[in-house]
Chains A and B, each alone.
Chain A
């Protein structure tokens, strides 16, 4: 099997603080990998190492066959990245935003224009090409950000909480596009706090305090924990690992509130 991401005993330390501790996993090409964990657990640091932005302290890894230490330029050239802040220039138009990122990846003009046309169609932004990005709705901004991340036809798409702060309809539309993309062979790495989104993933990794706790398909997780609610599984892990047993379900919280 061909792997898009292969990492072995990867660690990152900032001074005496270990942000990521000896994690290893392999993601086959064409899969959606959901990377879960509470805020500050080491998700972003792992992503940054995988994107070639920061150098690991120890361990080894390859992304799309490129070494995390030696081939960071090739990694950057072949991945697309989108975060919850979208990275759009609000005073630039839809076209100008896409053109800017396309030129940064050194695309030839004809290739870029053709690709741009396709993406704008997929994203449903037809007719908005000359609108300033700042005037678009949250959902449209998200789609534009996706266009910018895909303009150079990356083989790996990294999504860092891409749907935070977006309405439920836009969220579903967004995921529809993502699953369509994986059909073309692109691999997706996504972090999210929405458990319904996580259940779309082919593989789920759970990271806590820099340690990779589990790595499984959603089906196996459901079976192991005797529930089909990923959120409960997530909370079970956190309370087990942090001895925060006070984390109640929303139902229980509501009940308690009424009693008081």
Chain B
């Protein structure tokens, strides 16, 4: 391998990237856009659910219950109505996502020391909002009833803390406020590192074939190894730039700081990047044109977004889908990213995942090398 030839190819590749607007945007701007998109817009946090309230009791007790909904930040009282049917209509029209129906004799029962029922209607057409809304509503109502009963018990002079029962206190670790950006943003690092590298590499390789320049190159003394290494170098730089800029912006915009070792993260990131380069090259062995390369890239990228655990928990997936998600390197890299960035864990916790990632990447490289040598013959 001659270094001058390698660098000649690298220089040429940089000129290609510099003069191709689409490549430049993909390499430099797309990572920032993806980060902003997934950080801000894609949020599974459910706040300010619009609530219709039908208070038929209209007592101090009912108003107190309503206030505890309002104070929760999960709900926002959108409208008050006297008619339960109106509340249903508003859900149907999409004006509100939930409705709280308080019956007429709500306060009377409570005053007698009986358990009273309130009804919560939730719009189930969006399951993730519905599930959260229902859970929060139950939680708030339980909290309220606990308060009422403790007042009652105090009045009867019985000490609350002596009453038997199980008090489960959940402590949410690593992301105590349960912000979805904290969960999404580390994942974006992995997706950007993979997707942009795969597309750009596949394109760069296929372009030589599509334009016929490869025919010329094989007649020159440049070896295929020199050509491949020379062509890949710019994408290593772009990958590292994307990685750095996304981590930096995650910190500035979303307050996502790396709790663990940056060195370990970068090391594993580079291994992952090498895997992505190999994947791009593998695609280029199948694709004859840039269009085909784009389609083939989507075939890799879509599962990476949907199945990797980036958006949806893998635990809930059917077995076959789960198995597919296991062979995606990005799945394992996401575990590493979240482990190091959010939990601050080190290699002693991650060595299993890192080993699987390494094995997958070695497999991809092996397949790519085999495909390539076959092609050149």
Residues of A within 8 A of B (CB): 51, 53, 73, 76-77, 79, 81-83, 85-92, 96, 100-101, 103-106, 148, 158
Given A92-B15, A96-B15, does the pair A87, B2 have CB atoms closer than 8 Å?
no
Most B Cβ at <10 Å: residue of A53, A76, A89: A89
User: Which residue of chain B is the closest to A74 with respect to CB atoms?
Assistant: B221
Q: Measured between alpha carbons, how far is A77 from B83 in the docked complex, in Å?
A: 91
Given A89-B12, A91-B19, A103-B5, does the pair A73, B221 have CB atoms closer than 8 Å?
yes
Given A91-B19, A91-B20, does the pair A53, B221 have CB atoms closer than 8 Å?
no
* Residue B219 lies at the interface, judged by CB distance under 8 Å to chain A: yes
Residues of A within 8 A of B2 (CB): 106
* Residue B85 lies at the interface, judged by CB distance under 8 Å to chain A: no
User: Which residue of chain A is the closest to B4 with respect to CB atoms?
Assistant: A106
Given A100-B12, A104-B5, A106-B2, does the pair A87, B213 have CB atoms closer than 8 Å?
yes
User: Which residue of chain A is the closest to B5 with respect to CB atoms?
Assistant: A104
Q: Measured between alpha carbons, how far is A87 from B214 in the docked complex, in Å?
A: 7
User: Which residue of chain B is the closest to A92 with respect to CB atoms?
Assistant: B15
Given A103-B4, A104-B221, does the pair A92, B216 have CB atoms closer than 8 Å?
no
- A43 smallest CB distance to B (angstroms): 14
Return 16 A-B CB contacts under 8 Å, by A number. Answer: A79-B219, A81-B216, A81-B219, A82-B216, A87-B212, A89-B211, A89-B213, A90-B211, A92-B15, A96-B15, A103-B5, A104-B9, A104-B217, A105-B221, A106-B4, A106-B221
Q: Measured between alpha carbons, how far is A96 from B16 in the docked complex, in Å?
A: 11
Q: Measured between alpha carbons, how far is A79 from B220 in the docked complex, in Å?
A: 8
* Residue B222 lies at the interface, judged by CB distance under 8 Å to chain A: yes
Residues of B within 8 A of A88 (CB): 213
* Residue B8 lies at the interface, judged by CB distance under 8 Å to chain A: yes
Q: Measured between alpha carbons, how far is A79 from B213 in the docked complex, in Å?
A: 17
Residues of B within 8 A of A53 (CB): 218-219
Residues of B within 8 A of A (CB): 2, 4-5, 8-9, 11-12, 15-16, 19-20, 211-213, 215-222
User: Which residue of chain B is the closest to A87 with respect to CB atoms?
Assistant: B216
Q: Measured between alpha carbons, how far is A81 from B212 in the docked complex, in Å?
A: 13
Most A Cβ at <10 Å: residue of B12, B220, B222: B220
Known contacts A85-B212, A100-B11; can you find 11 more A-B pairs with CB under 8 A?
A82-B216, A83-B212, A85-B213, A87-B216, A87-B217, A91-B15, A91-B16, A103-B5, A104-B217, A105-B220, A106-B5
Given A100-B8, A103-B5, A103-B8, does the pair A76, B15 have CB atoms closer than 8 Å?
no
Residues of A within 8 A of B19 (CB): 91
Q: Is the CB of B222 within 8 A of A104?
A: yes
Q: Measured between alpha carbons, how far is A178 from B249 in the docked complex, in Å?
A: 59
Work out how many contacts link A and B, with CB atoms closer than 8 A: 65
User: Which residue of chain A is the closest to B16 with respect to CB atoms?
Assistant: A91
Given A91-B20, A104-B222, does the pair A85, B215 have CB atoms closer than 8 Å?
yes
- A102 smallest CB distance to B (angstroms): 9
Q: Is the CB of A83 within 8 A of B215?
A: yes
Residues of B within 8 A of A73 (CB): 221
- B229 smallest CB distance to A (angstroms): 14
User: Which residue of chain B is the closest to A132 with respect to CB atoms?
Assistant: B19
Q: Is the CB of A77 within 8 A of B216?
A: no
Q: Measured between alpha carbons, how far is A158 from B218 in the docked complex, in Å?
A: 13
Q: Is the CB of B215 within 8 A of A87?
A: yes
Most B Cβ at <10 Å: residue of A85, A91, A158: A91
Residues of B within 8 A of A76 (CB): 219-221
User: Which residue of chain A is the closest to B214 with respect to CB atoms?
Assistant: A87
Q: Measured between alpha carbons, how far is A90 from B220 in the docked complex, in Å?
A: 19
- B100 smallest CB distance to A (angstroms): 64
Q: Measured between alpha carbons, how far is A124 from B92 in the docked complex, in Å?
A: 76
Q: Measured between alpha carbons, how far is A92 from B12 in the docked complex, in Å?
A: 8
Q: Measured between alpha carbons, how far is A96 from B12 in the docked complex, in Å?
A: 8
- B40 smallest CB distance to A (angstroms): 36
Q: Measured between alpha carbons, how far is A89 from B12 in the docked complex, in Å?
A: 9
Q: Measured between alpha carbons, how far is A89 from B13 in the docked complex, in Å?
A: 10
Q: Measured between alpha carbons, how far is A20 from B45 in the docked complex, in Å?
A: 69
Q: Is the CB of B5 within 8 A of A89?
A: no
Q: Measured between alpha carbons, how far is A91 from B14 in the docked complex, in Å?
A: 11
Residues of A within 8 A of B9 (CB): 104
Q: Measured between alpha carbons, how far is A90 from B211 in the docked complex, in Å?
A: 9
Most A Cβ at <10 Å: residue of B8, B16, B20: B8
- B224 smallest CB distance to A (angstroms): 11
- A100 smallest CB distance to B (angstroms): 5
Residues of B within 8 A of A77 (CB): 221
In the complex, which of the residues A83, A85, A92, A101 contacts B220, with contact meaning CB atoms closer than 8 Å?
Answer: A101
Most B Cβ at <10 Å: residue of A104, A106, A148, A158: A104
User: Which residue of chain B is the closest to A102 with respect to CB atoms?
Assistant: B8
